[in-house]
Structure 1
Amino acid sequence: MAAPAFVRAFDSDLWWSFRRSPVTVLSAVVALVCVGGALLAPLLAPHNPFDLASLNLLDAFKPPAWAAEGDLAYPLGTDDQGRDMLSAIMYGARVSLLVGVSAVLFSTLLGVALGLLAGYLGGAVDAVLMRIADIQLTFPSILVALLVDGVVRAALPREVHDQVALFVVIFAIGISNWPQFARTVRGSTLVERNKEYVLAARVIGLSRLRIMLTHVLPNVLGPVLVIATLSLGFAILAEATLSFLGVGVPPTQPSLGTLIRIGNDFLFSGEWWITIFPGAALVAMVLSVNLLGDWLRDALNPKLR
């Protein structure tokens, strides 16, 4: 009788490599804490920072609980509106993760689809798609995201833009990151399309679409998984950068970047915790994801086994 899939997973080389790397294990724990705190924010957060009825301006600028004038009700202090910083960070991380994961999924789907088409069809399709990717790669990704956001802001009325701002940020970050997925998948597809199993599928009359989806795609997903993991950290940082510049998510849905921007106005007046703690949370989240991506890249590289 075959062992269940989860039992076989614990006997795999990937799990062995994971257990043998203390840095990777620590990164996974930090990532789980960040993701868990964000997803369970409504249950774990001491306060609801977006409930205006519960805010008290008399509680504004309270330092962390361990400081002389701190309050145990606000472990990491409060901001200029009296919002609990710990709760604001947990809720803000939800927005950052939502934008980051959604943008990576979008860029992955777009890049993989275009890379498959370019690599399998070749010819003019390959030339056009890769030249578009080359042109986009000459611009910094954050500049492309700013350009997309600016065009949408100019095209839509302010009221409409505020309603779709979250989707605009996801699209802007995702559209700026698809070329690396497309180029990677194209290179792998060029290798796979001439192998015997693909030639056999052609001989028995399978359509191009079916060959690409059921035969070529599963064999090119390894590098895509690594790139997606590494891109998640970039997407979270890109969203924080856009929000810090004031062109990201709306103020009614503040992310970690928005909290850092708000705290930056009070950094030199002594209220350092308003920007330092959201910044530390952003660093911990991105660093843990990047370290996991580095480990996954090495673990899936057959030359390093």
Structure 2
Amino acid sequence: MMNRVATFFAQTADSDIWYSFKRSPGAVIAAVVTLVMVLAALFAPLIAPHNPFDLASLSIMDANTPPSWEDGGSRDFLLGTDDQGRDILSAVLYGSRVSLFVGFASVIFSVVLGVTLGLISGYAGGRVDSFIMRIADVQLSFPAILVALLIDGVARGLLPRDLHNELALYVLVFAIGISGWVQYARTVRGATLVERNKEYVQAARLIGIGPITILRRHILPNVMGPVLVIATIHLAVAVITEATLSFLGVGVPSTTPSLGTLIRIGNSYLFSGMWWISIFPGIALVVLVLAVNLLGDWLRDALNPKLR
């Protein structure tokens, strides 16, 4: 096992992608920023100065405290507090965990669904291909945020009211994931249409290998390059979609706030002079999305053979 890991890292260090990464300062900075934010979110319970969701530790006397560098600020609350006395820095760290979880989970769901349907559509052809692609065409006629809103609303209507808060996070992942599978399916379908007529696939058919094995072992590895690029960019879109839904009040419940929920809460106090409640979560969201988008742009160029 250790030999395989060592071989993998040795091959990565000698690869064209790693060379391109080292030669791109923007990609390096974006990767560092993304890694720092992901690690900070993962280890929020360890590095956050306060637990913003522990009601026993909150004090209404600390409510609406400005950042530490302004008049009336406190060193205990570097970025200030909200209307309930929760530390904004700690809330951003904990809220990033929810946003990143929803983003990664919905992207994984979209990739699995979209790649599976794209492989089936491109390899089977005929009526199966037409049926899947017509569904994709219908969904493309609606904005992704509208599809997510529709699915979220239908799911909330079907589920018992007492389970809304418990299942809200998973409903949100499902809604965002369903709204993003089409781009994967169309991309993989196009690549599969090309790959299925190549000699190695024809040879696999002649020796009696089944369609599922051909798709899994032969075609799938050759169509994953574009999928990785789309998934990287889609992660930023998923985080933005989650923030938008939470800002509209149909995302995660207020008891497990994400960055979008924190921005929505702070928006009510923005014109009262308490700008820090929404500005700092907004900055964290913008920095995260920008870093992920820059990584996606670099990966798209790095995997494009015409730009090598």
Does residue 1:117 correspond to 2:152, yes or no?
A: no
Aligned to 1:281: 284
Q: Superposed, which structure 2 residues align to 1:36-51 within 5 Å?
A: 36-51=39-54
Give secondary structure in 1 for the equivalent of 2:246: helix
2:76 is equivalent to residue 76 of structure 1 = no
Aligned residue in 2 for 1:261? 264
Q: Does 1:234 align with 2:207?
A: no
Secondary structure of the corresponding residue to residue 72 of structure 1: coil
- Report % sequence identity: 67
With normalisation by structure 2, the TM-score equals 0.98
Residues in 2 aligned to 1:210 and 1:79: alpha-carbon distance in whole angstroms:
55
Question: 1:133 and 1:39 mapped to 2: Cα distance?
Answer: 35
* Equivalent-residue separation in structure 2 for 1:230 and 1:279 (angstroms): 19
Point out where structure 1 has 5 or more consecutive residues left out of the alignment.
Answer: none
Which of the residues 162, 183, 187 maps onto 2:186?
183
Q: Does 1:138 align with 2:141?
A: yes
The structure 1 residue matched to 2:109, chosen from 106, 109, 112, is 106
Number of the residue aligned with 1:197: 200
Give the superposition deviation at 1:193: 0.1
Give the C-alpha shift of residue 153 in structure 1: 1.5
What amino acid sits opposite 2:273 in the alignment? G
Partner-residue secondary structure (3-state), 2:252: coil
> Which amino acid in 2 is paired with 1:43?
L
Say if 2:9 is the partner of 1:6: yes
Per-residue deviation at 1:7? 2.0
TM-score scaled by structure 1? 0.98
CA shift at 1:8, angstroms? 2.2
Alpha-carbon distance in structure 2 between the residues aligned to 1:30 and 1:5:
24
> How many matched pairs?
305
User: 39, 58, 62: which one pairs with 2:61?
Assistant: 58
CA-atom RMSD, angstroms?
1.1
Answering whether residue 302 of structure 2 is matched by residue 299 of structure 1, we say yes
Match of 1:211 among 209, 214, 220: 214
Which amino acid is the alignment partner of residue 295 of structure 2?
L
Q: For each residue in 1:26-75, what CA deviation from the matched residue of structure 2 results, as whole angstroms up to 9, or x when unmatched? A: 11111111101100100000000010000000000001111111101000
Which consecutive aligned stretches of 4+ in structure 1 deviate over 6 angstroms post-superposition? Answer: none
**How big is the shift at 1:158?**
1.7
- Distance between the aligned counterparts of 1:243 and 1:41, measured in 2? 21
